[in-house]
Amino acid sequence: MRSDGPHLDTSGAVPAIEVRDLHKRYGSNEVLKGIDFHVDAGQVVCVIGPSGSGKSTLLRCVNRLEEPTSGEVLIEGVDICDPEVDLDAVRSRIGMVFQQFNLFPHLDVLKNLTLAQRSVRGRSKAEAVEVARRNLAKVGLADRESAYPAHLSGGQQQRVAIARALSMEPDMMLFDEPTSALDPELVGDVLAVMKDLASDGMTMMVVTHEMGFAREVGDKLVFMDGGVVVEEGVPSEVLSSPTHERTQAFLSKVL
Ligand code: ADP
Ligand code: MG
């Protein structure tokens, strides 16, 4: 269960992601009501919870796509709300994959993967293409580099989006319901890619309704409801014997 105060693992290393007493309010609507949690380097943390519980807001606060109202977000020990922080540098270490794939529709797959590498990372075209091809191969789409997004299935588009994020060589990846927009038969390929990434040791925070993935791949499962972390723990234990009534009620609807 969660620890209070700054978290140090047994090796003394700082967590990849640490959130302390995070609050987020939109007007009078307090969406996050004091969230504490951490993701250690190499860990896969899955976040579940009902619609509207604040999962996306939390994920978006982690790379400051949303401005927290109060509290702290530390990325590899650096407080990203510090006005002195180089936000672009922090963000470049965090890959993000959304429910909607957000590919550039007017660019082919290879261009989708090389654009930010060149403009943000300053890579040469040859280097960017090499990195892109390596990551396309990783997601099983080496033969689709000339395709345009509209000519790919949703599952292929999401795998391109993952390859695009990986091409920036991030230290960690955030996923916000990456398979929720997909036809059921396309979900497995995307989850398989994410599982491979986890096996490679990627640090991952995954908002998902895929309980099988959470159980099999997750090191930790966090259940959110009403803007708070209600319960967290080893996925198989939380899923099979949740201790809180709210977790039990949610799981009885989705399992
Ligand atoms: P989840 O991802 O768990 O479904 P969200 O984080 O998207 O939940 O939303 C939590 C709550 O915050 C919802 O009540 C939603 O209406 C509200 N909310 C999210 N984004 C905004 C925004 N930009 N402005 C106002 N309210 C928002
Ligand atoms: Mg959401």
Residue 31, ligand 1, Cβ within 6 A: yes
Residue 208, ligand 1, Cβ within 6 A: no
Give the chain's length. 255
12-62 pLDDT, tens digit each: 689 999 999 999 999 999 999 999 999 999 999 999 999 999 999 999 999
107-157 pLDDT, tens digit each: 999 999 999 999 999 999 999 999 999 999 999 999 999 999 999 999 999
Q: Please give the pLDDT value at position 12.
A: 66
Question: Which ligand lies nearest the alpha carbon of 65?
Answer: 1
Residue 26, ligand 1, Cβ within 6 A: yes
Residue 227, ligand 1, Cβ within 6 A: no
Q: What is the mean pLDDT of the chain?
A: 94
Res. 91: pLDDT tops 80: yes
211-247 pLDDT, tens digit each: 999 999 999 999 999 999 999 999 999 999 999 999 9
Residues with CB under 5 A from ligand 2 (ion): 55-56
182 backbone φψ class: left, alpha, beta (φ>0; ψ -120 to 50): beta
Q: What angle do CA 73, 74, 77 make, to 5 degrees?
A: 170
- State in Å: Cα 61 to ligand 1 middle: 12
- State in Å: Cα 43 to ligand 2 middle: 21
- State in Å: Cα 56 to ligand 1 middle: 7
For atom 6 of ligand 1, the residue with the nearest CA is 54
Out of 29, 57, 229, mutate this one to test ligand 1's pocket (max ligand atoms within 8 Å of CB): namely 57
Say what the ipTM of the complex is: 0.98
- State in Å: Cα 208 to ligand 2 middle: 9
Q: pTM for the complete prediction? A: 0.94
As a whole-number percent, the residues of the chain with pLDDT over 70 amount to 95
Ligand 1: nearest atom to the Cα of 54: 6
For atom 24 of ligand 1, the residue with the nearest CA is 26
- State in Å: Cα 170 to ligand 2 middle: 22
177-193 pLDDT, tens digit each: 999 999 999 999 999 99
- Packed helices 125-138 and 109-119: angle between N→C axes, nearest 10 degrees: 130
Predicted confidence band at 1 (pLDDT cuts at 50, 70, 90)? very low
Predicted confidence band at 8 (pLDDT cuts at 50, 70, 90)? low
For atom 23 of ligand 1, the residue with the nearest CA is 26
